Amino acid sequence: MIEFLSKKLNWFEVEYWFYILNDLSLVYIILPFFVLELIRYAYLKRLTKNLILDSIANIITFGAFFVIEIILGLLAITKVYFWVYNNLSLPHLELNWITIITCVLLADLAYYWEHRMMHRIGIGWATHTVHHSSPHFNMSVAYRFGPLDAILPIIFSLPIVLLGYDPILVLLSEIFVQVFQTLLHTEIIGKLTKPVEYIFNTPSHHRVHHGSNKQYWDKNYAGIFIIWDRLLGTFEPEVEKVKYGISEPLHSNNPIKVFFHGLTRLYDKIKKTSGFKNKILVFVKPPGWEPK
Protein backbone atom coordinates (compact mmCIF):
# COMPACT_ATOMS: atom_id res chain seq x y z
CA MET A 1 0.00 0.00 0.00
CA ILE A 2 2.80 2.44 0.94
CA GLU A 3 4.60 1.56 -2.28
CA PHE A 4 1.42 2.31 -4.28
CA LEU A 5 0.75 5.62 -2.48
CA SER A 6 4.34 6.79 -2.88
CA LYS A 7 4.59 5.89 -6.59
CA LYS A 8 5.44 9.01 -8.59
CA LEU A 9 2.56 10.36 -10.73
CA ASN A 10 2.56 12.55 -13.81
CA TRP A 11 0.53 15.73 -14.13
CA PHE A 12 -1.74 14.27 -16.82
CA GLU A 13 -3.07 11.67 -14.37
CA VAL A 14 -3.55 14.20 -11.57
CA GLU A 15 -5.27 16.81 -13.72
CA TYR A 16 -7.51 14.11 -15.24
CA TRP A 17 -8.83 12.99 -11.83
CA PHE A 18 -9.33 16.54 -10.59
CA TYR A 19 -11.18 17.27 -13.86
CA ILE A 20 -13.50 14.31 -13.23
CA LEU A 21 -14.09 15.20 -9.58
CA ASN A 22 -14.18 18.99 -9.88
CA ASP A 23 -15.19 20.25 -13.32
CA LEU A 24 -17.50 17.44 -14.44
CA SER A 25 -19.34 17.33 -11.10
CA LEU A 26 -21.31 20.32 -12.39
CA VAL A 27 -22.75 18.07 -15.11
CA TYR A 28 -23.31 14.79 -13.25
CA ILE A 29 -24.22 16.05 -9.75
CA ILE A 30 -24.81 19.78 -9.26
CA LEU A 31 -27.12 20.69 -12.19
CA PRO A 32 -29.24 17.50 -11.92
CA PHE A 33 -29.51 18.00 -8.17
CA PHE A 34 -30.57 21.64 -8.59
CA VAL A 35 -33.31 20.55 -11.02
CA LEU A 36 -34.44 18.02 -8.42
CA GLU A 37 -34.53 20.81 -5.83
CA LEU A 38 -36.69 22.98 -8.12
CA ILE A 39 -39.11 20.06 -8.54
CA ARG A 40 -39.21 19.68 -4.76
CA TYR A 41 -39.86 23.41 -4.30
CA ALA A 42 -42.72 23.18 -6.82
CA TYR A 43 -44.20 20.13 -5.06
CA LEU A 44 -44.06 21.94 -1.69
CA LYS A 45 -45.50 25.09 -3.32
CA ARG A 46 -42.35 27.02 -2.42
CA LEU A 47 -41.23 27.77 -6.00
CA THR A 48 -41.79 31.51 -5.69
CA LYS A 49 -40.71 34.48 -7.76
CA ASN A 50 -38.39 35.48 -4.91
CA LEU A 51 -36.62 32.09 -4.97
CA ILE A 52 -36.17 32.20 -8.76
CA LEU A 53 -34.78 35.76 -8.67
CA ASP A 54 -32.54 34.80 -5.75
CA SER A 55 -31.12 31.89 -7.76
CA ILE A 56 -30.47 34.16 -10.75
CA ALA A 57 -28.71 36.67 -8.48
CA ASN A 58 -26.56 33.84 -7.12
CA ILE A 59 -25.34 32.88 -10.59
CA ILE A 60 -24.63 36.53 -11.50
CA THR A 61 -22.56 37.04 -8.34
CA PHE A 62 -20.62 33.92 -9.31
CA GLY A 63 -19.91 35.45 -12.71
CA ALA A 64 -18.58 38.63 -11.09
CA PHE A 65 -16.54 36.58 -8.62
CA PHE A 66 -15.13 34.47 -11.45
CA VAL A 67 -13.94 37.55 -13.37
CA ILE A 68 -12.21 38.87 -10.22
CA GLU A 69 -10.74 35.44 -9.55
CA ILE A 70 -9.32 35.22 -13.07
CA ILE A 71 -7.86 38.73 -13.03
CA LEU A 72 -6.66 39.05 -9.44
CA GLY A 73 -6.78 35.46 -8.31
CA LEU A 74 -5.43 32.96 -10.77
CA LEU A 75 -3.10 35.42 -12.52
CA ALA A 76 -1.67 37.26 -9.50
CA ILE A 77 -1.98 34.48 -6.92
CA THR A 78 -0.27 31.84 -9.03
CA LYS A 79 2.63 34.24 -9.54
CA VAL A 80 2.87 34.73 -5.77
CA TYR A 81 2.56 30.99 -5.17
CA PHE A 82 5.27 30.14 -7.68
CA TRP A 83 7.60 32.86 -6.39
CA VAL A 84 7.26 31.50 -2.84
CA TYR A 85 7.60 27.92 -4.13
CA ASN A 86 10.80 28.70 -6.04
CA ASN A 87 12.43 31.02 -3.51
CA LEU A 88 11.21 30.32 0.03
CA SER A 89 9.70 26.86 0.28
CA LEU A 90 11.11 23.72 1.81
CA PRO A 91 12.47 21.11 -0.66
CA HIS A 92 9.86 20.41 -3.33
CA LEU A 93 7.71 17.34 -2.77
CA GLU A 94 7.24 14.65 -5.40
CA LEU A 95 3.82 14.25 -6.96
CA ASN A 96 2.26 11.04 -5.63
CA TRP A 97 -0.89 9.90 -3.84
CA ILE A 98 0.60 10.72 -0.43
CA THR A 99 1.29 14.34 -1.37
CA ILE A 100 -2.14 14.66 -3.05
CA ILE A 101 -4.02 13.30 -0.01
CA THR A 102 -2.00 15.34 2.50
CA CYS A 103 -2.35 18.46 0.34
CA VAL A 104 -6.16 18.08 0.30
CA LEU A 105 -6.13 17.60 4.09
CA LEU A 106 -3.99 20.72 4.56
CA ALA A 107 -6.16 22.69 2.12
CA ASP A 108 -9.20 21.62 4.14
CA LEU A 109 -7.61 22.76 7.41
CA ALA A 110 -6.56 26.03 5.76
CA TYR A 111 -10.16 26.45 4.57
CA TYR A 112 -11.42 26.03 8.13
CA TRP A 113 -9.21 28.87 9.41
CA GLU A 114 -9.86 31.07 6.39
CA HIS A 115 -13.60 30.53 6.78
CA ARG A 116 -13.43 31.28 10.49
CA MET A 117 -11.52 34.50 9.76
CA MET A 118 -14.16 35.50 7.19
CA HIS A 119 -16.76 35.41 9.96
CA ARG A 120 -14.71 36.94 12.75
CA ILE A 121 -13.11 40.07 11.26
CA GLY A 122 -14.90 43.03 9.69
CA ILE A 123 -13.34 42.98 6.23
CA GLY A 124 -13.77 39.21 5.99
CA TRP A 125 -17.46 39.38 6.84
CA ALA A 126 -17.93 42.33 4.46
CA THR A 127 -17.26 39.96 1.54
CA HIS A 128 -18.46 36.65 3.01
CA THR A 129 -21.82 38.03 4.16
CA VAL A 130 -22.85 37.89 0.48
CA HIS A 131 -22.79 34.09 0.64
CA HIS A 132 -24.93 34.07 3.79
CA SER A 133 -27.44 36.72 2.78
CA SER A 134 -29.80 34.43 0.85
CA PRO A 135 -32.97 33.44 2.76
CA HIS A 136 -32.95 30.17 0.77
CA PHE A 137 -30.70 27.11 0.83
CA ASN A 138 -30.02 25.19 -2.37
CA MET A 139 -27.22 24.40 -4.82
CA SER A 140 -27.36 27.87 -6.41
CA VAL A 141 -26.52 29.47 -3.04
CA ALA A 142 -23.16 27.68 -3.16
CA TYR A 143 -22.27 29.98 -6.09
CA ARG A 144 -23.18 33.19 -4.25
CA PHE A 145 -19.79 34.87 -3.73
CA GLY A 146 -18.51 38.24 -2.51
CA PRO A 147 -15.97 40.56 -4.20
CA LEU A 148 -12.93 39.55 -2.11
CA ASP A 149 -13.66 35.84 -1.72
CA ALA A 150 -10.89 34.91 -4.18
CA ILE A 151 -8.27 37.15 -2.56
CA LEU A 152 -8.28 36.75 1.24
CA PRO A 153 -7.69 32.96 1.23
CA ILE A 154 -4.12 33.51 -0.04
CA ILE A 155 -2.96 34.15 3.52
CA PHE A 156 -3.95 30.64 4.55
CA SER A 157 -2.84 28.81 1.41
CA LEU A 158 0.72 30.16 1.20
CA PRO A 159 1.94 28.08 4.20
CA ILE A 160 1.06 24.92 2.22
CA VAL A 161 3.22 26.14 -0.68
CA LEU A 162 5.98 26.93 1.84
CA LEU A 163 5.96 23.26 2.86
CA GLY A 164 7.02 22.31 -0.68
CA TYR A 165 3.69 21.40 -2.28
CA ASP A 166 3.38 22.32 -5.95
CA PRO A 167 1.28 25.52 -6.32
CA ILE A 168 -0.97 23.95 -8.96
CA LEU A 169 -1.67 21.00 -6.65
CA VAL A 170 -2.52 23.48 -3.89
CA LEU A 171 -4.97 25.33 -6.16
CA LEU A 172 -6.56 22.07 -7.34
CA SER A 173 -6.93 20.93 -3.72
CA GLU A 174 -8.59 24.24 -2.79
CA ILE A 175 -11.03 23.84 -5.69
CA PHE A 176 -11.77 20.27 -4.57
CA VAL A 177 -12.65 21.51 -1.07
CA GLN A 178 -14.92 24.19 -2.60
CA VAL A 179 -16.67 21.67 -4.86
CA PHE A 180 -17.30 19.40 -1.88
CA GLN A 181 -18.87 22.42 -0.13
CA THR A 182 -21.19 22.97 -3.08
CA LEU A 183 -22.77 19.55 -2.58
CA LEU A 184 -23.71 20.46 1.00
CA HIS A 185 -26.11 23.25 0.03
CA THR A 186 -29.35 21.30 0.05
CA GLU A 187 -32.40 20.59 2.17
CA ILE A 188 -33.18 17.34 0.34
CA ILE A 189 -30.65 15.27 2.29
CA GLY A 190 -31.39 14.89 6.00
CA LYS A 191 -28.97 13.59 8.59
CA LEU A 192 -26.69 10.75 7.50
CA THR A 193 -25.33 7.84 9.56
CA LYS A 194 -23.57 8.74 12.82
CA PRO A 195 -20.02 7.84 11.69
CA VAL A 196 -20.39 10.01 8.56
CA GLU A 197 -21.93 12.89 10.55
CA TYR A 198 -19.12 12.64 13.11
CA ILE A 199 -16.22 12.79 10.64
CA PHE A 200 -17.46 14.63 7.55
CA ASN A 201 -19.18 17.90 6.90
CA THR A 202 -22.73 17.12 5.76
CA PRO A 203 -25.78 19.06 4.54
CA SER A 204 -27.11 18.98 8.11
CA HIS A 205 -23.92 20.55 9.50
CA HIS A 206 -23.81 23.14 6.73
CA ARG A 207 -27.47 24.09 7.17
CA VAL A 208 -26.51 25.05 10.72
CA HIS A 209 -23.67 27.18 9.35
CA HIS A 210 -26.15 29.14 7.21
CA GLY A 211 -28.59 29.64 10.08
CA SER A 212 -29.46 33.09 11.38
CA ASN A 213 -30.66 31.47 14.63
CA LYS A 214 -28.50 32.89 17.43
CA GLN A 215 -27.20 29.48 18.57
CA TYR A 216 -26.03 28.76 15.02
CA TRP A 217 -23.92 31.89 14.56
CA ASP A 218 -20.26 31.25 13.72
CA LYS A 219 -20.51 27.47 13.85
CA ASN A 220 -19.49 24.59 11.57
CA TYR A 221 -16.80 26.29 9.47
CA ALA A 222 -15.56 22.99 8.02
CA GLY A 223 -14.95 22.25 4.37
CA ILE A 224 -14.75 18.46 4.07
CA PHE A 225 -14.06 17.28 7.63
CA ILE A 226 -16.28 18.44 10.50
CA ILE A 227 -13.57 17.06 12.82
CA TRP A 228 -11.87 20.50 12.75
CA ASP A 229 -14.97 22.09 14.32
CA ARG A 230 -15.26 19.34 16.91
CA LEU A 231 -11.59 19.72 17.90
CA LEU A 232 -11.59 23.53 17.91
CA GLY A 233 -14.87 24.17 19.73
CA THR A 234 -17.01 25.53 16.89
CA PHE A 235 -19.33 22.58 16.29
CA GLU A 236 -23.11 22.83 16.65
CA PRO A 237 -25.59 20.07 15.69
CA GLU A 238 -28.79 20.75 13.77
CA VAL A 239 -31.58 20.72 16.34
CA GLU A 240 -33.81 23.78 16.02
CA LYS A 241 -35.28 24.42 12.55
CA VAL A 242 -32.81 26.56 10.61
CA LYS A 243 -33.78 30.09 9.52
CA TYR A 244 -31.49 31.02 6.65
CA GLY A 245 -29.98 34.42 6.07
CA ILE A 246 -28.19 37.08 8.12
CA SER A 247 -29.15 39.04 11.23
CA GLU A 248 -29.68 42.21 9.16
CA PRO A 249 -31.60 40.87 6.11
CA LEU A 250 -30.83 42.31 2.69
CA HIS A 251 -34.39 42.24 1.28
CA SER A 252 -33.15 42.50 -2.30
CA ASN A 253 -32.45 40.26 -5.28
CA ASN A 254 -30.67 42.99 -7.23
CA PRO A 255 -27.35 41.28 -8.12
CA ILE A 256 -25.37 44.52 -7.73
CA LYS A 257 -26.79 45.13 -4.25
CA VAL A 258 -26.27 41.48 -3.34
CA PHE A 259 -22.64 41.49 -4.51
CA PHE A 260 -21.61 44.77 -2.88
CA HIS A 261 -23.89 45.12 0.15
CA GLY A 262 -21.27 43.84 2.60
CA LEU A 263 -18.67 46.37 1.50
CA THR A 264 -21.19 49.23 1.45
CA ARG A 265 -22.34 48.33 4.97
CA LEU A 266 -18.71 48.23 6.10
CA TYR A 267 -18.13 51.65 4.51
CA ASP A 268 -21.20 53.08 6.29
CA LYS A 269 -20.00 51.68 9.61
CA ILE A 270 -16.53 53.20 9.13
CA LYS A 271 -18.13 56.59 8.32
CA LYS A 272 -20.22 56.47 11.50
CA THR A 273 -17.31 55.37 13.71
CA SER A 274 -15.41 58.20 15.37
CA GLY A 275 -11.63 58.23 15.75
CA PHE A 276 -9.00 57.04 13.26
CA LYS A 277 -7.94 54.11 15.45
CA ASN A 278 -11.52 52.91 15.80
CA LYS A 279 -12.05 53.18 12.03
CA ILE A 280 -9.06 50.88 11.49
CA LEU A 281 -10.33 48.49 14.15
CA VAL A 282 -13.61 48.12 12.25
CA PHE A 283 -11.62 46.19 9.59
CA VAL A 284 -10.16 43.64 12.02
CA LYS A 285 -12.64 43.38 14.88
CA PRO A 286 -15.64 41.02 14.75
CA PRO A 287 -18.60 42.30 12.67
CA GLY A 288 -20.70 43.24 15.71
CA TRP A 289 -17.92 45.25 17.38
CA GLU A 290 -18.63 48.84 18.41
CA PRO A 291 -16.15 51.25 20.11
CA LYS A 292 -16.88 51.97 23.75
pLDDT one-digit tens code per residue, 71-117: 776 666 778 899 999 999 999 999 999 999 999 999 999 999 999 99
pLDDT at residue 5, as a whole number: 76
Residue 171 lies in a domain: yes
pLDDT tens digits for range 127-174: 999 999 999 999 999 999 999 998 888 889 999 999 999 999 998 999
pTM, two decimals, is 0.94
pLDDT tens digits for range 22-65: 888 888 889 999 999 999 999 999 999 999 999 999 999 999 98
What total number of domains does the chain contain?
A: 1
Range of the domain at 31: 9-284
Q: What is the dihedral of CA 39, 210, 132, 201, to 10 degrees?
A: -90
pLDDT at residue 212, as a whole number: 96
pLDDT tens digits for range 9-25: 888 888 888 889 888 88
Residue 291 lies in a domain: no
Residue 3 lies in a domain: no
Residue 168 lies in a domain: yes
pLDDT tens digits for range 53-66: 999 999 999 999 88
Residue 127 lies in a domain: yes
Residue 30 lies in a domain: yes
